[in-house]
């Protein structure tokens, strides 16, 4: 499976509740959702966290901006930083891997010596030297540990405004551990923090991050690749589940929901695409439920699009998640999404309009939602027809405009 499948879900876990509910920061930050984050409906949640697009003068200013990026996520660099390179004057990536997927960027690579852990440590010193050797207007990072901390160190040494792109583990794990006061303090030191959706923004506000520093960064999809196919093509699968086989993605919940469907006498076929530490447990659960003939397990695949195009509905069962790229790509491909109310998913999926939002994360609740798609093909088709509208909001150009806002925030 390529980065556009199970990898896209790795490290993107987010607050388990739809409003990003998490611990109130005892060392700073009120429990408030007022201001830009206040919202009345899922449809406009992300929009309320976006400032107006900068005027022409600001765009000219960004054309001269020199941004230093610290990254170890080579397989995600093009998607994360390609839109930045489109709007910044100069983008330089200090990175671990030799991949150079962004044509408009410069690369400074850590020497290929020793194990990865050693090279991750060396990354800091290479970035520190690059910050000394050349002058930059800002330093950007995604993931607090370690890249965000490296960015803060360069801010402390050189005075560069620092950006952090939040991934789920930052909020859902690090900020909740016994050492959580440290990450929560660190969040407040960044000049700009980008998040995929409103749930994460509201949680940062509760942790004391000023609203004016928080920006949405679109989790962009390739709209040229992911688009609906003709409706007259028969689907092979009623449901497709795609992601990492791990506890937070809860693939076993999907199996148990399908078992409930079969117990209710419904006919279906499903595919579970991906792999991970829980794969053996999933296989055992399928066998225990007698669903071997109902569920295909292709494992890691290079082309998830082929499964989207052979399926009617996409099912997400995560205990926690951010704004999964797999879900966005499935919707862009014309699949009706069946999803829990986790992370920023409700920013995109409106129950009964472009998908089904399951009220409870139980096999019975998911089975009811899936049964409705089986029993009422017209209803499922209506949801599927509405789902591809996500292509307009999540294309690469939107991510570029978000980076313009981030650069404006960094510029003060």
Q: What is the reported pLDDT for 55?
A: 58
> What is the DSSP track for 112-135?
--S-HHHHHHHHHHHHHHHHHHS-
**Banded pLDDT at 66 (limits 50, 70, 90):** very high
Q: How far is CA 71 from the centre of its chain?
A: 17
Q: In this predicted model, which residue has the larger pLDDT, 21 or 212?
A: 212
If we measure between CA atoms, which residue out of 342, 336, 329, 341 comes closest to residue 303? 329
Question: φ, ψ for residue 370 (rounded to 5)?
Answer: -70, -35
Q: What is the reported pLDDT for 43?
A: 45
Average pLDDT of every residue of the chain: 87
CB 81 within 8 A of CB 107: no
As a whole number, mean pLDDT of residues 102-106 equals: 89
> To the nearest 10°, the Cα dihedral for 232, 234, 238, 243?
-90
Distance CA 341, CA 362 (A): 12
Token output for 118? 């050693």
Distance CA 277, CA 76 (A): 22
Same CATH fold, 237-393 and 11-219+395-411? yes
Token output for 88? 């910044």
Distance CA 39, CA 329 (A): 25
State the SS3 of 390-407. Answer: HHHHCCHHHHHHHHHHHH
Token output for 15? 């607050």
Cβ neighbour number for residue 353 with a 10 Å cutoff: 15
> What is the DSSP track for 140-176?
EEBSIIIIIHHHHHHHHHH---BEEE--HHHHHTGGG
Residue 351 has what DSSP assignment?
A: B
Residue 3 has what DSSP assignment?
A: I
As a whole number, mean pLDDT of residues 231-255 equals: 92
Distance CA 133, CA 43 (A): 46
| pLDDT above 70 coverage of the chain, percent | 85
Give per-residue pLDDT as tens, 300-335. Answer: 898 899 999 999 999 999 998 889 999 999 999 999
Q: What is the reported pLDDT for 171?
A: 87
CA distances from 116 to 11, 72, 110, 180 (A): 18, 10, 10, 26
Burial of 243 (0-12, 13-18, 19+ CB in 10 A): buried
Residue 339 has what DSSP assignment?
A: E
Distance CA 309, CA 178 (A): 45
> What is the DSSP track for 174-222?
GGGSTTTHHHHHHHTT-SEEEESSHHHHHHHHHTT--GGGEEE------
Where exactly are the structural domains of the chain? 11-219+395-411, 237-393
Distance CA 310, CA 306 (A): 6
Q: What is the reported pLDDT for 56?
A: 52
Q: What is the reported pLDDT for 17?
A: 39
Q: What is the reported pLDDT for 230?
A: 75
If we measure between CA atoms, which residue out of 107, 102, 62, 97 comes closest to residue 83? 102
Q: What is the reported pLDDT for 100?
A: 73
pLDDT higher than 80, residue 182: yes
Distance CA 89, CA 106 (A): 11
Distance CA 147, CA 44 (A): 31
Q: Does domain 11-219+395-411 have CATH number 3.40.50.2000?
A: yes
pTM of the model as a whole: 0.83
Q: In this predicted model, which residue has the larger pLDDT, 152 or 102?
A: 152
Q: What is the reported pLDDT for 203?
A: 93
Distance CA 27, CA 25 (A): 5
Q: What is the reported pLDDT for 3?
A: 41
Residue 5 has what DSSP assignment?
A: I
Give per-residue pLDDT as tens, 142-171. Answer: 999 999 999 999 999 999 999 999 987 888
Report for 60-74, 99-113, 116-130: range of highest mean pLDDT: 116-130
Burial of 103 (0-12, 13-18, 19+ CB in 10 A): exposed
**Banded pLDDT at 50 (limits 50, 70, 90):** confident
Q: Does domain 237-393 have CATH number 3.30.420.40?
A: no
């Amino acid at each position: 499976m390529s980065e556009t499948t199970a990898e896209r879900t790795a490290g993107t876990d987010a607050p388990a509740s739809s409003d990003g509910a998490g611990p109130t920061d005892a060392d700073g930050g009120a429990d408030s959702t007022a201001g830009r984050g206040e919202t009345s409906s899922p449809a406009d949640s992300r929009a309320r966290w976006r400032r107006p697009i900068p005027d022409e003068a600001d765009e000219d200013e960004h054309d001269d901006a020199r941004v230093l990026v610290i990254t170890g996520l080579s397989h995600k660099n093009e998607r994360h930083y390609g839109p930045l390179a489109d709007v910044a004057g100069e983008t330089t990536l200090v990175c671990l891997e030799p991949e150079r997927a962004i044509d408009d960027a410069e690369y400074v690579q850590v020497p290929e010596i020793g194990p990865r852990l050693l090279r991750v440590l060396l990354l800091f010193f290479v970035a520190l030297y690059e910050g000394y050797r050349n002058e930059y207007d800002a330093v950007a990072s995604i993931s607090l540990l370690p890249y965000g901390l490296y960015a803060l160190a360069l801010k402390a040494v050189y005075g560069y405004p620092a950006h952090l792109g939040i991934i789920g583990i930052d909020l859902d794990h690090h900020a909740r551990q016994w050492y959580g006061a440290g990450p929560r303090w660190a969040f407040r030191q960044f000049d700009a923090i980008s998040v995929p959706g409103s749930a994460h923004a509201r949680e940062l506000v509760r942790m004391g991050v000023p609203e004016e520093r928080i920006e949405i960064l679109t989790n962009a999809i390739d709209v040229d690749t992911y688009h609906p196919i003709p409706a007259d093509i028969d689907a092979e699968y009623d449901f497709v589940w795609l992601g990492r086989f791990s506890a937070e993605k809860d693939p076993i919940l999907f199996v148990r929901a399908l078992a409930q469907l079969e117990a209710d006498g419904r006919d279906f076929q499903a595919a579970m695409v991906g792999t991970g530490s829980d794969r053996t447990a999933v296989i055992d659960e399928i066998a225990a439920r007698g669903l071997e003939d109902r569920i295909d397990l292709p494992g890691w695949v290079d082309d998830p699009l082929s499964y989207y195009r052979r399926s009617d509905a996409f099912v997400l069962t995560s205990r926690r998640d951010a704004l999964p790229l797999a879900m966005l790509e499935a919707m862009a491909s014309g699949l009706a999404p069946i999803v829990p109310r986790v992370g920023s998913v409700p920013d995109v999926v409106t129950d009964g309009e472009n998908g089904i939002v399951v009220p409870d994360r139980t096999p019975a609740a998911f089975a009811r939602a899936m049964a409705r798609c089986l029993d009422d093909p017209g209803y499922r088709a209506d949801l599927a027809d509405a789902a591809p509208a996500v292509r307009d909001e999540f294309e690469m150009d939107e991510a570029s405009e978000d980076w313009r806002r981030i650069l404006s925030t960094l510029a003060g």
